[in-house]
Chains A and B, each alone.
Chain A
């Protein structure tokens, strides 16, 4: 079966711009989570959606937002990009979170 698909794989943006990343979960998975991975901070939780509702949110500024559609596909948006937003953004989906998560390959965002 198809895995978690994230698009685009790579992205270069300029400071001050905004960006939208997309995630298509495994078919049937209704929980979608987003994580930011950087060399300095490791993997940090951004937010989690279930049936179009945000259930959990991490400690990130309001510039980071997300949404989930009725088909469980999710997008995250970062506005007013800063150099420190350069990171690998990972999406994960789950049927039952106790069974663990399936991650996508990520979107590598570089802010210049």
Chain B
């Protein structure tokens, strides 16, 4: 069974602080995607990483895919209240398995207080 464990599960921080969310698995994925979901809405894609060791930056967000393509991290610099939401990592093609299906992580609920 392919599992993606995220940590921490919950995070409450003050505006301006930095934070890192981790996504770990024992499976190797062909790609890793990060989504943010707000209450009552569907997840919104933030980034896709496909190469081991890849680092992508999206304004204040930095995403990294582990060298072995088993883990990933999301770092937010100077968090803002608008960053509040549920952050989900999702792997595709785990252990050479089927693509076109996502295995979602357990989620990290982030609250940024003004």
Contact = CB atoms under 8 A, between A and B. Distances in A.
Nearest to B48: A100
B44 A103 contact: yes
B56 to A, nearest CB: 12
Contacts of A55: 98, 100
B31 interface: yes
A97 B103 CA distance: 13
Contacts of A31: 100
Interface string A74-87: 00000000000000
Interface string B17-54: 00000000000000101010000111111011010000
Contacts, number: 62
Interface string A3-37: 01000000000000000000000000001010100
Nearest to B102: A45
Interface residues of B, number: 25
Nearest to B99: A97
A9 B40 CA distance: 10
Given A42-B107, A105-B40, A100 B101 contact: no
Given A42-B104, A43-B102, 9 more contacts: A4-B42, A31-B100, A35-B104, A43-B88, A48-B100, A50-B100, A97-B100, A98-B48, A103-B44
Interface of A: 4, 31, 33, 35, 42-45, 48, 50, 55-56, 58, 90, 92, 94, 97-106, 108
Interface of B: 31, 33, 35, 40-45, 47-48, 50, 88, 90, 92, 98-107
